[in-house]
Structure 1
Amino acid sequence: MHQIDPLAWAPLLAASEAEGWRMLRRLMDEWRSGANRYEQPGESLWAWFDDHGQVVAVGGLNREPAPGRAGTGRMRRFYVHPSWRGHGLARRLVNAVLASAQGHFSRLHVNCESAASAEFWTHCGFAPIAAGEPAERPARYTHARLLPQYQAA
């Protein structure tokens, strides 16, 4: 993905903000400023488009920022438009991102901000990081998955 067309992303952005999520606004702002274009080795940003060219689902992968653990990536900015939920798009995006992470990362982190999110990521093979293990738990991550080899979620 090399460009973000604001018109194609507008319905997804509006839906996310209506649900109280600011992650896609941050994605758009970081993209526009150049702060994060998902261009580092192993990074990727995936979007699912409908027949009209509108983005209906998104998910990305970034390298863990310094002083992060070497070989660690962050699954982030996953969101599916409410009218497209229940069609397996989130799972497809996760599998695409997991496949793209192979050879670049040995561990992936995700931050779950709701019980539904935690349940989804657990079903995708991510395990909760114990709050009592500060050496293993970066402050903003709740779940992790090791990648000795790719396995579909």
Structure 2
Amino acid sequence: MEEFKVKQLKSLFYIDLAHLVKESKEEGFRFLERLVNDYEDGTNKFNKPGESLYGLFNKEGVLIAIGGLNIDPFSNEEKVGRLRRFYVSKDYRRNGLGKHLLNQIIYDAKNYYKVLVLHTDTEQGDSFYISFGFSKGNLYPNSTHYLNLLNIV
């Protein structure tokens, strides 16, 4: 794992993620394209207290996975964070790298939030998040899964 490094991304303007956007669109996902558009127009820069955008880079410094942490915009409850724009390049899946990235996001989320929510509409996503301890349910608006961070050591 030491050849892979999770970094907090301070600005998307200096990161090459065109290859991930292209790959995700080919798989039928538009959320990385939305990530770039929202970042560029200022809609979501992951820069409020408790928010961050993370990248996972290989030893050559190429971005191979990305994921963000936002204050949940759909919840009226305090201390609810939302996992957003989580994507791992298909060449790097099923070898623990997604877990490596998600571990860092959860670790940081515990400092700000009581609950972490997300929305996924794929079977693979559902299985991945459940294996991580997320519960499936619609307790939170526009969410399919949630994780009580108070129970995480």
TM range (shorter): 0.7 to 0.9
Deviation at 1:25, TM superposition (A): 0.2
Q: Which residue in the other structure is 1:78 paired with?
A: 86
Q: Which residue in the other structure is 2:5 paired with?
A: none
Output the CA distance in 2 between the equivalents of 1:99 and 1:7: 23
Deviation at 1:38, TM superposition (A): 0.7
Q: In the alignment, is residue 15 of structure 1 matched against residue 18 of structure 2? A: no
AA in 1 matched with 2:62: Q
AA in 2 matched with 1:51: K
Q: In the alignment, is residue 118 of structure 1 matched against residue 122 of structure 2? A: no
Contact 1:71–1:105 (8 Å) recurs in 2: yes
Q: In the alignment, is residue 147 of structure 1 matched against residue 146 of structure 2? A: no
AA in 1 matched with 2:44: N
Output the CA distance in 2 between the equivalents of 1:49 and 1:5: 16
AA in 1 matched with 2:82: R
Output the CA distance in 2 between the equivalents of 1:7 and 1:71: 29
* TM-score normalised by structure 1 residue count: 0.87
Q: Secondary structure at the match of 1:8?
A: coil
Q: Which runs of 4+ in 1 moved over 4 A?
A: none
Deviation at 1:150, TM superposition (A): 3.2
Greater alpha carbon shift after TM alignment, 112-121 vs 51-60: 51-60
Q: How many residues align?
A: 145
AA in 1 matched with 2:140: R
Contact 1:109–1:141 (8 Å) recurs in 2: yes
Gaps of 5+ in 1: 131-135
Q: Which residue in the other structure is 1:37 paired with?
A: 45
Q: In the alignment, is residue 54 of structure 1 matched against residue 54 of structure 2? A: no
Output the CA distance in 2 between the equivalents of 1:67 and 1:22: 23
Q: Secondary structure at the match of 1:20?
A: coil
1:75-104: CA deviation from partner (whole Å, max 9, x where unpaired)? 111101111112211101110000101120
Deviation at 1:69, TM superposition (A): 1.4
- Percent same amino acid at aligned positions? 31
Deviation at 1:50, TM superposition (A): 2.4
- Alpha-carbon RMSD: 1.7
* TM-score normalised by structure 2 residue count: 0.87
